[in-house]
Amino acid sequence: MAGLKAIIVDDARFIRDLVTKILRDAFPDSQVKSAENGEAGKQLLAKETFDIVLCDWEMPGMSGLELLQWTRQQPSYQTVPFLMITSRGEREYVLKAVSSGVNDYIGKPFEPQQLVDKVKLWLAKGGETSPAARQRAAQLLASVDSPAAKKAAPKPKGMAQLRFGGTTHKCAIKELTLQFAKVAIKHEGKLPAIFEQAVVDIEQQNGKGVARINGFVRAISALEPDMNSSFLDVNIHFSDNDADKLEVLSHYMSRMK
């Protein structure tokens, strides 16, 4: 897309510089403005009109969530894609962002092509968020914040399938949030690569469906201090922002003992 006008809001200069370079390389004649915090981003957004907003979550002063909420209140930005670039993937954070109108997440660290693909996707789709998805996220968030939910706080465990590079592996779920999974797999020759695309298939406990969560490999470690270790821990950062999948994961986690 020629003539793209984007804004990146992040208190880390190297992230602002990196995103700016990626967008300028991928989109000829693009204009990319940057802001070092939420308040500066708000001032730029009020002064100019942008095609897409890329924003960090945790910043001094106005947070990314607060900027998102302000943006969605502006008539000119209600349908402009808003993407969070952040390492925060906890369930509460995701639900707050979805209920406030975020379009997608990009987890740190990220590959340039991953960022470009998401920008192209949302420029084509438009940034209008589904009222039903926002309402569902708000309802899930209310249940997460309830005293009963906080008291129970079960650690999720279970079985799933991990798919990467054309192979499928049974895996044990060791940790699970709406944006992250840590699974254990048996070393059977083919190893996943860092940043390789992967899919975690999580079956609903009632057997009525499978949530196929797309993501990428963020880390790999051997379970034993041996180069011939038979089992590996694989950390998967989810890239999906589908409300139905978030709901399946939420129910799955709430039922784990």
- pLDDT score of 158 more than 90: no
Structure tokens at 46: 């009020």
- Asked if 19 and 1 touch (Cβ cutoff 8 Å), the reply is no
What confidence tens digit (pLDDT) does each residue in 225-254 have? 666 667 888 999 988 877 777 777 777 776
Q: What is the pLDDT of residue 99?
A: 82
Angle between helix 64-72 and helix 38-47 axes, rounded to 10 deg: 20
The DSSP letter of residue 256 is: -
- Label residue 149 by pLDDT band (50, 70, 90): very low
The whole-angstrom separation of Cα 163 and Cα 31 is 38
The whole-angstrom separation of Cα 96 and Cα 88 is 12
Any bridge partners for residue 5, and if so which?
A: 31
The DSSP letter of residue 242 is: -
What confidence tens digit (pLDDT) does each residue in 93-138 have? 677 778 888 888 887 778 899 899 989 989 988 877 767 766 776 6
Average pLDDT taken over every residue of the chain:
82
- pLDDT score of 167 more than 70: yes
Q: What share of the chain is helix, strand, coil (3-state, %, to 5)?
A: 35, 30, 35
Average the pLDDT over 1-6 and give the result.
78
- Asked if 200 and 162 touch (Cβ cutoff 8 Å), the reply is yes
The whole-angstrom separation of Cα 162 and Cα 12 is 33
If one compares 33 and 154, the residue with the highest pLDDT of the two is 33
- Label residue 141 by pLDDT band (50, 70, 90): low
Structure tokens at 187: 């070393």
What confidence tens digit (pLDDT) does each residue in 186-231 have? 877 778 899 999 999 987 655 556 778 999 999 998 876 666 667 8
**Tokens 């997440």, residue located:** 105
**Tokens 């940034």, residue located:** 127
All structural domains of the chain, each given as residue ranges with its CATH number in brackets, are 5-144 (3.40.50.2300), 158-255 (2.40.10.220)
Instruction: Determine if the pTM surpasses 0.75.
Output: no
The whole-angstrom separation of Cα 67 and Cα 91 is 20
What confidence tens digit (pLDDT) does each residue in 41-78 have? 999 999 999 999 999 988 888 999 999 999 999 999 98
